[in-house]
Amino acid sequence: METTRNSGQIYGDGSLIGMERYDYIIIGAGSAGCVLAYRLGEDTRKRIMVIEAGGNDNATIVRMPSALSIPMNTKRYNWGFATEPEPYLDSRVMNLPRGKGLGGSSSINGMCYVRGNPMDYERWVDYGATGWDWATLLPYFERLECVAETGKFRGRSGPIHVKRGTETNPLYHAFIKAGVQAGYARSTNMNDLQHEGFGPMEMNVKDGERCSAATAYLRPAMARGNLRVVTHAHATRLLMEGRKAVGVEYEHKGRLVQVRAAEMILSAGSIMSPVVLQRSGIGPKEELRRAGVAVVHDLPGVGGNLMDHLELYVQQECKQPVSLYHHMNLLGKARIGLRWLLRRDGLGATNHFEAGAHIRSRAGISYPDIQFHFLPLAISYDGKSLAQGHGFQAHVGPKRSKSRGWVRLDASDPRNKPRVRFNYMSEEDDWIEMRACVRLTREIFNQPAMAAFAGRELAPGPDCTTDTQIDQFIKNKVESAYHPCGTCRMGTDKDAVVDPETMRVRGIEGLRVVDASVMPQATAGDINVPTIMLAERAADLIRDRHLPAADTAPVMVDANWPSCQRSPHIEQNLSGSDMRALFAKERSLVGGRACL
């Protein structure tokens, strides 16, 4: 059995020392695992171990915000997952980057700081996640953040530093103004009172560097002396005594190591958390038997309910030389990099997603189901394809897809990478929403505010107009926004995996799951910040404590949402009982014509 040695340092040796027992072992040093290590370690009497399959996260290329596409495409930091052929996308195999290393995906993502809509969390409760309503969760969002901007419902002293970009590029302002001209609301801060509308976006950046979960939580936790972090430690299975989890087995440099604890916490992410459960005999019995794994506990929901956000790039030529294109040559990139190395500012200190929006796809939708990230450049998210010449684009996609997929073991060898299929676009509503993404973006780009900049449409292109043509463009070009979640859903029904009041795996002692896999529904926006919030509250549930619910927790909607797709004013403030009735009414509607 392992023990702590020089606690507070990172080890890559995985060595066996002594016979001391841990209070908690956290599997995975991603966004959730880092938060848990910090919060559970506040009780310095507790001995905590974190095992992580990847290595360190502190390389310059990780810390530089504008270089985000590089670690995302580097084997050192990315698991390199891909989907099985997606049957509703002409059998395309989709790329699925997942963070591998301290900080997990918070060390390779786009750093977009988005809480989601307050109604996301009311919907979680509607789906059976008791206790996860907006008034309860708002104090946890405030606890995690240190925000530079003003705002009534923002935190000022949390570990995650949050800022706006400098917004010096005129295209950001033109995009926001165009949205208002199209009849949508303007939001001064999407993470404060009003989520819906067009406005500036925030990023988790501190002093010009990426503020990952490892930077914000894990490294301070290690300084206390009661935490051991072992890197390059790949969890193979949980150690079970009947239906009680008592430890974990991990592989390190070709050998297997076993270590035990009073409590096991699985925070390996939406792909690997269900994999570790299934390798340990916890999951759908048919799938386990097919993979040759002895069934410990038949839990049908493990690995199911897989969801994601998809997005398209609607790209436009820019008639004025104001985009980022002239910086995209070797000399331009060298200048950006040198300035950032010397001063930690300039174009190297931003993710370039400095403006965005959240809107509704059609009447009868109560709160935003479409998100925009605006970029003053025409390029793919992974940086692999760049338009020739000045351009700009909106990354746009639905946020509440109804399509559901799965994560399963490779039956030929459960130690292999898992099989992943999202079944993207398998529901008709997803096609309705994705077509709306294209048409609504075109309308916004055609507003007077964009007239001085917008040239010819680069993608989908002026000849792509009918539903059939747009559908084919979607099949050919849609990409994951890299927000998988839901594979160990919390709830109280028979398919739920995790108890929402304790985070314990249903039917198993000594085991909890805390990461994006427990989300009942993806939030209306990037999911990294909701994952951090989730871990903040889960840490309190594990310690049998909680923050008081917010006395004031506004939930704003358009009063005319049943009949109107857009409004310049989002003013109605709902209570919890109002929202239960609203969800029932929304389910009865089929949408309608946009109010133009």
The string of pLDDT tens digits covering residues 52-77 is 999 987 789 999 999 998 998 888 89
What residue has token string 């009172």?
Answer: 193
Q: What are phi and psi of 552, to 5 degrees?
A: -125, 120
Residue-wise pLDDT tens digits, 391-446: 999 999 999 999 999 999 999 888 899 999 999 999 999 999 999 999 999 999 99
**In the prediction, which pLDDT does 594 show?**
40
pLDDT higher than 70, residue 13: no
pLDDT higher than 90, residue 282: yes
**In the prediction, which pLDDT does 12 show?**
53
Whose CA is closest to 48, among 23, 18, 11, 19? 23
Q: Choose the weakest-confidence range: 143-147, 438-442, 552-556.
A: 552-556
Mean pLDDT of the chain: 93
Q: What percentage of the chain carries pLDDT values higher than 70?
A: 94
**Domain boundaries, given as residue ranges, for the chain:** 60-97+164-210+309-480
Confidence band (pLDDT; 50, 70, 90) for 575? confident
User: What's the rounded mean pLDDT across residues 518-533?
Assistant: 97
**In the prediction, which pLDDT does 56 show?**
84
419 residue type, one letter: R
**In the prediction, which pLDDT does 590 show?**
55
Residue count of the chain, please give it.
596
For the domain spanning 60-97+164-210+309-480, the CATH number is 3.30.560.10
- Identify which has the larger pLDDT, 306 or 4: 306
Residues classed as catalytic: 483
**In the prediction, which pLDDT does 595 show?**
38
409 residue type, one letter: L
Instruction: Determine the angle formed by the axes of helices 467-477 and 428-445, rounding to 10 degrees.
Output: 100
Q: What percentage of the chain carries pLDDT values higher than 90?
A: 86
pLDDT higher than 90, residue 17: no
Does residue 321 have a cis bond before it (omega within 30 degrees)?
no
Confidence band (pLDDT; 50, 70, 90) for 529? very high
CA torsion through residues 423, 120, 213, 147, sign: positive
pLDDT higher than 80, residue 480: yes
H or E element in which residue 112 lies: strand 112-113
Residue 346 neighbours by CB distance under 10 Å:
17
Task: For residues 258 and 256, give the distance between their C-alpha atoms in angstroms, rounded to a whole number.
Answer: 7
pLDDT higher than 60, residue 592: no
Confidence band (pLDDT; 50, 70, 90) for 9? low
Confidence band (pLDDT; 50, 70, 90) for 581? confident
What residue has token string 């309608």?
Answer: 592
Structure tokens at 575: 């209570």
User: What's the rounded mean pLDDT across residues 3-14?
Assistant: 46
Helices vs strands, H then E, count in the chain? 15, 29
- Identify which has the larger pLDDT, 173 or 252: 173
Strand pairing class (355-359; 370-375): antiparallel
**In the prediction, which pLDDT does 381 show?**
59
H or E element in which residue 585 lies: helix 576-588
Structure tokens at 245: 């989890």
User: What's the rounded mean pLDDT across residues 334-359?
Assistant: 97
429 residue type, one letter: D
Task: For residues 522 and 414, give the distance between their C-alpha atoms in angstroms, rounded to a whole number.
Answer: 28
pLDDT higher than 80, residue 16: no
Question: Hey, what's the torsion of the CAs at 333, 336, 339, 344, to 10 degrees?
Answer: -130
**In the prediction, which pLDDT does 584 show?**
86
**In the prediction, which pLDDT does 11 show?**
55
DSSP, residue by residue, 284-301: -HHHHHHTTPPPSEE-TT
Q: Choose the weakest-confidence range: 53-67, 84-98, 126-140.
A: 53-67
pLDDT higher than 50, residue 263: yes
